[in-house]
A and B are shown apart, each in its own frame.
Chain A
């Protein structure tokens, strides 16, 4: 928990209530598109996409759709910068529940930025089968795409500068529900 060394919190974007309202809105949008809600599989991108996917699954079920299975994707092995980042990220493993053939997979991540994580996630998902369609749900879209990728479900669009970093903090990992913008401390 807390701010990484060398960074300070600049402002709060979402408190717990606004975060859960954003998730509820995404869940309702998924349920409204009936084609997406039937045969739905939610796959969270590790780390914080996974608890978000679990919460969305609960909200989708509460909104009247059949409760979707939830999977977790560790995209480390599909990164385009695996051999240039140091130290290497610790693997946490991928778990896909059952077959995804012919189903609607909604990828869930906390922040959409360059789009490179999503590219890696798409490649990995396709190694597990042939879903009917893959959609993307993100809590925050902060812009600065480097690939032709756009989200289907967005909690909040947020213009940022590249030197800032968006931190999504979740109860499951960080003990609080909150989204903040952090920036490097001035030298």
Chain B
């Protein structure tokens, strides 16, 4: 059993043993964060390019730190300040970067399928760091690693994913990953933000927060993605916050005392999460961020460390 894929594009394409390998690899790399010298020579001489066409704090930074801790050379590209602003197309930019022989290209783009397109076009390994509302596999992997560390296992856990499901690539990747590992997933949100056919991914649907958080081990709150929304999906952010915002009061009345509160960030404080919940004892939001570095190290290691670099 080993890693054989050239690319990491989605949770949908992975099977349970591949997901477990990624999570296990990340878990064993976490120890590096606590060393005085946070660097191991595993990817010496490998080049990782971060190709980001969308704003990002956590994901881009953690891929950069992950690459550097593994001794890879990491180059950051962001669409502002590049030839994109001179009118170069996405695929032309990518081919030019590929001509400089990177080993891994980490790509984030607002179009679903962007990473897939690169994977079919370029010889190097591609990591999907978020493509539109499609998938964000490394976020799902770090969510899974955090859950396993806090709960000790996956099988039989019940997770509620709450909020703007329709625009969320995190929700899609999480649902795929969690279902494959034997977890139950309930998605909850206002009907306008629940995509059609979400049941086909194996998730249950609820339209009431109080009901959805009732008997779950994990509550995953999603950011209200106002920048992706067309008008009219919710009456107002104030009303959304009132019905769908998670407050200490709602937690105390409806949720289990050992529930974990997760959020992929960035948090809209006072909308989907009250500050007392975001910073409270149930919250593992910053644990997720720490695990993010380990997960991205694991992904880079498995992709760039494959025999011969590509092909094999």
Interfacial residues, chain A to chain B (CB-CB below 8 A):
74, 76-78, 82-88, 90-95, 123-124, 127-129
Cβ-defined contact, A87 with B3, below 8 A? yes
Across-interface contacts of A124 in B (CB, < 8 A)? 40
Cβ-defined contact, B305 with A129, below 8 A? no
Cβ-defined contact, A74 with B3, below 8 A? no
User: Looking at the complex, which one of B28, B40, B306 makes contact with A83 (CB distance below 8 Å)?
Assistant: B306
Closest approach, in angstroms, between the C-beta of A8 and any C-beta of chain B? 25
Across-interface contacts of A123 in B (CB, < 8 A)? 41
Whether A91 contacts B40 in the complex (CB less than 8 A), given A83-B306, A83-B307, A128-B35, comes out as: no
Cβ-defined contact, A95 with B31, below 8 A? yes
Across-interface contacts of B21 in A (CB, < 8 A)? 90
Closest to B2 in A: A87
Cβ-defined contact, A83 with B309, below 8 A? yes
**Distance, CA A78 to CA B37, complexed state (A):** 14
**Distance, CA A147 to CA B36, complexed state (A):** 28
Across-interface contacts of A93 in B (CB, < 8 A)? 27-29, 31
Chief secondary structure at chain A's binding surface:
loop
Known contacts A83-B306, A91-B24, A128-B36; 9 additional CB pairs below 8 A are A77-B70, A78-B40, A82-B305, A83-B309, A85-B307, A86-B307, A88-B305, A91-B29, A123-B41
Cβ-defined contact, A127 with B39, below 8 A? yes
Whether A78 contacts B41 in the complex (CB less than 8 A), given A87-B1, A90-B25, comes out as: yes
- Please tell me if B308 contacts chain A, counting CB pairs below 8 Å: yes
Closest approach, in angstroms, between the C-beta of A107 and any C-beta of chain B? 18
User: Looking at the complex, which one of B1, B27, B42 makes contact with A82 (CB distance below 8 Å)?
Assistant: B42
- Interface contacts (Cβ under 8 Å), in number, total 61
User: Looking at the complex, which one of B24, B31, B304 makes contact with A90 (CB distance below 8 Å)?
Assistant: B24
Closest approach, in angstroms, between the C-beta of A43 and any C-beta of chain B? 14
Across-interface contacts of B99 in A (CB, < 8 A)? none
Across-interface contacts of A88 in B (CB, < 8 A)? 2-3, 301-302, 305-306
Question: How big is the B interface, by class?
Answer: 20 to 34
Closest to B297 in A: A77
Across-interface contacts of B304 in A (CB, < 8 A)? 83
Whether A86 contacts B312 in the complex (CB less than 8 A), given A78-B42, A127-B40, comes out as: yes
Closest to B39 in A: A127
Cβ-defined contact, A94 with B31, below 8 A? yes
**Distance, CA A38 to CA B301, complexed state (A):** 38
Closest approach, in angstroms, between the C-beta of A116 and any C-beta of chain B? 14
User: Looking at the complex, which one of B28, B39, B312 makes contact with A91 (CB distance below 8 Å)?
Assistant: B28
Across-interface contacts of A91 in B (CB, < 8 A)? 24-25, 28-29
User: Looking at the complex, which one of B28, B35, B308 makes contact with A74 (CB distance below 8 Å)?
Assistant: B28
Across-interface contacts of A84 in B (CB, < 8 A)? 307-308
Q: Mark B235-272, 1 if CB is under 8 A from A, else 0.
A: 00000000000000000000000000000000000000
**Distance, CA A127 to CA B3, complexed state (A):** 28
- Please tell me if B4 contacts chain A, counting CB pairs below 8 Å: yes
**Distance, CA A10 to CA B59, complexed state (A):** 53
Closest to A86 in B: B307
Cβ-defined contact, B27 with A87, below 8 A? no
Closest to A84 in B: B307
Across-interface contacts of A94 in B (CB, < 8 A)? 31
Most B CB contacts (10 A, CB to CB) among A90, A95, A128 go to A90
Q: Mark B16-46, 1 if CB is under 8 A from A, else 0.
A: 0000010011011101000111011110000
Closest approach, in angstroms, between the C-beta of A79 and any C-beta of chain B? 8
Q: What are the 4 tightest A-B residue pairs by CB atom distance, in nearest-first order? A: A87-B2, A93-B28, A86-B307, A91-B28
Across-interface contacts of B31 in A (CB, < 8 A)? 93-95
